[in-house]
Amino acid sequence: MLAARVRRGRWGVLVLSLTRGDTLYSYRPDTALQPASNFKLFTTALALQEYGADHQFSTDVLRSGTVTSDGTLQGDLILRGDGDPGISRRYYDHGAAGAMDQLAEMVLNAGIKRVSGSLVADASAFDPQRIPEGWKVRYLQSGYAARVSALSCNENLVTVVVAPGKANQAARVSLDPATDLPLSVQVRTVAGRGARIIARSSSTGGMEVRGTIGTRAGVRSYQVVVEDPTAFTTGAFRRALEMRGVLVRGSTRYAPTPAGAVKVAGLASQPLSHLIAAMNRESINHYAELLFRDAGRKAASDGVGSVETASTLLEHFLTTQVGAAPGAVVTADGSGLSVLDRVTPRSVVELLAYANRAPWSDAFHASLPVAGESELLKQRMRYTPAQGNLHAKTGTTNDVISLGGYVTARDGELLAFAFIYNGTDRWNAKSTIDAMGATLAGFAR
C-alpha cells in the first residue's frame, strides 16, 4: 500500500497490538518526521497528566484597594489570565463578548460601581512570546495561527463588521467583540451590491479597515487575527464594564497581580476533557498552544508557562513515564503548526499505549474524531470496517499528512497506530492512510 500510490516523499509507520503487545507492522518507525497536528496527541496527554480531566482554569478579576460605601473602588481593578482557551463563542451565549459580559456582571454584583485607579491586565502566567518559532510568515494572518497569551478572548480573533451608509458617505464599521483597540477606518459607501474591503491588524496593534461598500451590499464581516491578545481581551472587558455603568477612570496597565489583591470574581472554564475534545476534533491550534504552556507553567519553578518549560516537561514525561527514547520528540510549539517540530512514529505509538492505560484514558480516547462519523474524519473511511471504529488525530499541512490513534480489529484486538507522511504527494498519501486504516479494522488472526 505504501508504494502503490505515493511515488515520492518519506513514510514512517508503526502498528502495535495493545491487546497482545506485539508489533504488527513497522516501516522506518524511528525516522524523525514533521507531525503537523498529530502533535496535539502529545499536548493532550501532557495536559491530562498534569491537571487531570476535570480541571478547570479560572480567569479572575481582583482588586487592590478598598471599596467605599458608594461603590467606589479606591485602587486598581485587575483582570488576570489563567491560560483558558475556552473564552469564546463556542461556550458562551450572546456572541464573542459573552464571557466578558459575565465577568463584568459579577463585578457589578460585588458592589463595585466605579474604579478610581487603573484596569490592570495580568498575562504573566505565560512568557511574552506570541508567535512560536517555525510558524511560516504566510500563516500569520490566518485564524489557525492566532497569537498566544495567557489572557485571551474569542480565540484571539476579532470580527470587523462593515455596514453601508448613504451613497458617498462613510460606512459604519464596528468590532465584535467590542473592544477599545484603536480603529482606523476609511470605508466609503458607493452605488451597487459589491464590497472591496481590506481589514487587518495595524503595526501599532489596532485595526485598519479600508475600501468601498455598495449601498445594496448588506452587512459584510471579516475575521482578523489580533496582534495583541492581552490588550484585546482587556479592552473587551472594559467595554463590558462600561455597558453596565462601571467606569474605570484610569488607563489600562500591564503588570502582574500585586500581592494582597482580593478576588472579586472568577470565570471557570469548561473541564479540561471538554477543551481537549474541541481541540482534537476540530484541530484548534489556539487551544493547543495555550494548553501546552499551561502544562509547562504548572511544572515551572517560576510558574511561567512557555514552549521551553513545556518542552522540558514533555521530554521528562516521555522518557520517564511513556518509555520513549531521549530526543525522539523535538518541540517548537504545542499545536504541530511549526515546521521545526519532529516526532517518530514509535514515539507516537508509545504515547498512545501509555494513554490507553492512564487514569485519564477515557477522556483521551473520547477527544479523538471517529472515522466516517465526526469532525475531521467524518468523510473518511466511510463504508469500511473503520467507520464508527477507528478514532484518531489527523495532521495536515502542505507537506504533511498524518494519522495516529486506535482501531479495534475484527478479532477484537485494540491496535495503536501511527501513519506519518512528509512530502508533496499528500492527497495520494491521504488515500493510502485511509486504506491502511480500513485494513487494520478488518484484520484478524
Q: What is the pLDDT of residues 325-371, one digit of tens each?
A: 999 999 999 999 999 999 999 999 999 999 999 999 999 999 999 99
103 and 246 in a common domain: yes
Integer Cα distance of 399 and 10 in angstroms: 10
Q: What is the reported pLDDT for 196? A: 96
Does residue 141 belong to any structural domain of this protein? no
**pLDDT above 90 coverage of the chain, percent:** 95
Burial degree of 195 (CB within 10 A; 0-12, 13-18, 19+): buried
Does residue 30 belong to any structural domain of this protein? yes
Provide the residue type at 126 as one letter: F
Q: How confident is the model at residue 425 (pLDDT cuts 50, 70, 90)?
A: very high
Q: How do residues 159-186 score in pLDDT, each as one tens digit?
A: 999 999 999 999 999 999 999 889 999 9
31 and 96 in a common domain: no
211: cell is: 475600501
| pLDDT surpassing 90 at residue 203 | no
Does residue 391 belong to any structural domain of this protein? yes
Q: What is the reported pLDDT for 259? A: 94
105 and 236 in a common domain: yes
- Find the CATH number of the domain harbouring 127: 3.50.80.20
| pLDDT surpassing 80 at residue 297 | yes
339 and 247 in a common domain: no
Helix axis angle, 307-317 to 40-51, nearest 10°:
80
88 and 206 in a common domain: no
Residue where one domain finishes, among candidates 268, 295, 326:
268
Beta pairing class for 247-248 and 114-115 = parallel
Does residue 89 belong to any structural domain of this protein? yes
Does residue 123 belong to any structural domain of this protein? yes
Domain count, the chain: 3
Q: What is the reported pLDDT for 311? A: 97
| pLDDT surpassing 80 at residue 281 | yes
Residue where one domain finishes, among candidates 168, 190, 225:
225
192 and 81 in a common domain: no
- H-helix or E-strand containing 102? helix 98-109
Does residue 332 belong to any structural domain of this protein? yes
324 and 289 in a common domain: yes
CB 88 within 8 A of CB 220: no
- Find the CATH number of the domain harbouring 369: 3.40.710.10
| 58: three-class secondary structure by DSSP | strand
| pLDDT surpassing 70 at residue 249 | yes
**pLDDT above 70 coverage of the chain, percent:** 100
| pLDDT surpassing 90 at residue 441 | yes
Q: What is the reported pLDDT for 44? A: 98
Q: How confident is the model at residue 56 (pLDDT cuts 50, 70, 90)?
A: very high
68: cell is: 467605599
Q: What is the reported pLDDT for 188? A: 96
Q: What is the reported pLDDT for 202? A: 84
129: cell is: 512570546
Q: Which whole number is the average pLDDT over 131-153?
A: 96
| 407: three-class secondary structure by DSSP | strand
Q: What is the reported pLDDT for 205? A: 81
Q: What is the reported pLDDT for 299? A: 86
Nearest to 256 by CA among 62, 80, 60: 80
Q: How confident is the model at residue 157 (pLDDT cuts 50, 70, 90)?
A: very high
Residue 427 makes CB contacts below 8 A (sequence gap 6+) with: none
Q: What is the reported pLDDT for 92? A: 87
| pLDDT surpassing 80 at residue 87 | yes
| pLDDT surpassing 80 at residue 116 | yes
Q: What is the reported pLDDT for 38? A: 97
| pLDDT surpassing 80 at residue 95 | no
283 and 385 in a common domain: yes
Any idea which of 71-85, 152-166, 199-213 has the lowest mean pLDDT? 199-213
287 and 398 in a common domain: yes
331 and 433 in a common domain: yes
Q: What is the reported pLDDT for 93? A: 80
209 and 115 in a common domain: no
Q: How confident is the model at residue 435 (pLDDT cuts 50, 70, 90)?
A: very high
Does residue 88 belong to any structural domain of this protein? yes
212 and 155 in a common domain: yes
List the domain range (segments joined by +) for residue 128.
Answer: 58-135+230-268
Integer Cα distance of 137 and 120 in angstroms: 31
| DSSP-H helix ranges across 259-400 | 272-282, 285-299, 307-317, 345-357, 361-366
CB 372 within 8 A of CB 378: yes
Residue 197 Ramachandran class (φ > 0 left, ψ -120 to 50 alpha, else beta): beta
Does residue 146 belong to any structural domain of this protein? no
Beta strands in 81-219 (DSSP E): 114-115, 119-122, 157-163, 172-176, 183-190, 195-201, 207-214
Residue where one domain finishes, among candidates 268, 291, 319:
268
| pLDDT surpassing 70 at residue 96 | no
